[in-house]
């Protein structure tokens, strides 16, 4: 059965001009999960403290806003839906532009980044694979996958949006934890005979071997970032003839 954490249950930290929230991970779910995700929000024109990363394989995804990220001695520009590959950096500082900055930072908890992994860099949204579902009208932006050339080995992630009426095919992953951080809207997470509603700010964990699928039964878009940790080696579709497939967006 999925583990769900409501936005109101998540712990926050804050300082002048910034707030942070533990969005997913072992401490959030009370289970052994080989990754964590935190949400950092910085007010317009403000900066954050240095957030430690401990040399883990990590990346940032800009939910909204603009600004810069300081990683070691380098500074990188950030814009909406860009990805900041952090490799094995020890820490990260954020500086918001005039419209503020909202960043999800995910890191592996199962090992350090490999020595051969590319150095930190930013990939703009236009440089990331953008896909559309061939089953319904879902929209997907790959963040960390085999098609994103950053050398990630411990994490996979994408941002996916369900339009009203969209629903995925039932499936499960044999050997990975599937984690979801809801960005906007409201939708149903189904697992076998159990269904639960997720809303913006919530997070959920589906363990290895747990059947699951999502449905947007509302009149607005439902979007989330989904993670696989470690990357799955096999996905089993549980309804004969029904599976999710994708094509490049035109």
pLDDT in tens, 12-42: 999 999 999 999 999 999 999 999 999 999 9
Work out whether strand 74-78 and strand 213-215 pair parallel, antiparallel, or are unpaired: unpaired
Q: How far apart are CA 52 and CA 42, in angstroms?
A: 16
Across residues 213-224, what is the average pLDDT? Answer: 98
**What are the residues whose beta carbons fall under 8 Å from the beta carbon of 191, sequence distance 6 or more?**
1, 2, 206, 210, 211, 212
Total Cβ atoms within 10 A of residue 233: 9
Direct distance between the N- and C-terminal alpha carbons of the chain, in angstroms, rounded to an integer: 37
Which has the closest alpha carbon to 197: 182, 210, 187, 184? 187
Instruction: Give the CA distances from residue 212 to residues 77, 155, 188, in Å, rounded to whole numbers and listed in that order.
Output: 37, 20, 10
Chain-centroid distance, C-alpha 141: 11
pLDDT value at residue 3: 96
CATH superfamily of 10-115: Jelly Rolls (2.60.120.10)
CATH of domain 130-243: 2.60.120.10
The tally of CA atoms less than 13 A away on the side-chain side of residue 178 is 25
Give burial (CB, 10 Å; 0-12/13-18/19+) of 250: exposed
SS3 224: strand
Kindly report whether the global pTM for this prediction surpasses the value 0.85.
Answer: yes
Across residues 75-99, what is the average pLDDT? Answer: 95
**What are the residues whose beta carbons fall under 8 Å from the beta carbon of 119, sequence distance 6 or more?**
87
Q: Is residue 58 over pLDDT 70?
A: yes
Cβ(191)–Cβ(210) below 8 Å? yes
Percent of the chain scoring above 70 in pLDDT: 97
Q: Where in the chain is the domain with CATH 2.60.120.10?
A: 10-115, 130-243
Cβ(133)–Cβ(244) below 8 Å? yes
pLDDT value at residue 118: 66
Q: Is residue 7 over pLDDT 90?
A: yes
Q: Is residue 116 over pLDDT 70?
A: no
Work out whether strand 18-24 and strand 35-42 pair parallel, antiparallel, or are unpaired: antiparallel
Locus of tokens 């090992």:
111
- The token pair at 68 is 């810069």
């Amino acid at each position: 059965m999925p583990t769900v954490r409501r936005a109101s249950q998540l712990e926050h930290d804050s300082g002048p001009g910034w707030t942070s929230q533990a969005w997913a991970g072992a401490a959030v779910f009370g289970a052994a999960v080989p990754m964590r995700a935190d949400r950092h929000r910085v007010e317009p024109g403000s900066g954050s403290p240095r957030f430690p990363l401990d040399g883990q394989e990590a990346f940032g995804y800009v939910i909204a806003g603009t600004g810069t990220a300081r990683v070691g001695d380098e500074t990188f520009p950030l814009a909406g839906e860009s990805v900041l590959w952090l490799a094995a950096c020890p820490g990260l500082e954020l500086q918001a532009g005039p419209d503020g900055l909202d960043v999800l930072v995910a890191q592996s908890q199962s090992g350090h980044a490999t020595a051969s992994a590319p150095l930190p860099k930013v990939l703009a949204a236009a440089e990331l694979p953008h896909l559309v579902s061939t089953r319904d009208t879902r929209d997907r932006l790959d963040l960390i996958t085999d098609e994103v050339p950053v050398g990630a080995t411990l994490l996979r992630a994408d941002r996916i949006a369900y339009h009203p009426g969209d629903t995925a095919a039932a499936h499960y992953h044999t050997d990975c934890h599937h984690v979801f951080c809801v960005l906007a809207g409201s939708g149903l997470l189904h697992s076998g005979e159990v269904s639960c509603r997720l809303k913006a700010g919530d997070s959920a964990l589906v363990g290895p071997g747990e059947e699951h699928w999502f449905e947007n039964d509302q009149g607005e878009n439902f979007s989330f970032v989904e993670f696989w940790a470690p990357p799955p080696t096999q996905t089993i579709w549980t309804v004969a003839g029904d599976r999710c497939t994708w094509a490049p967006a035109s």
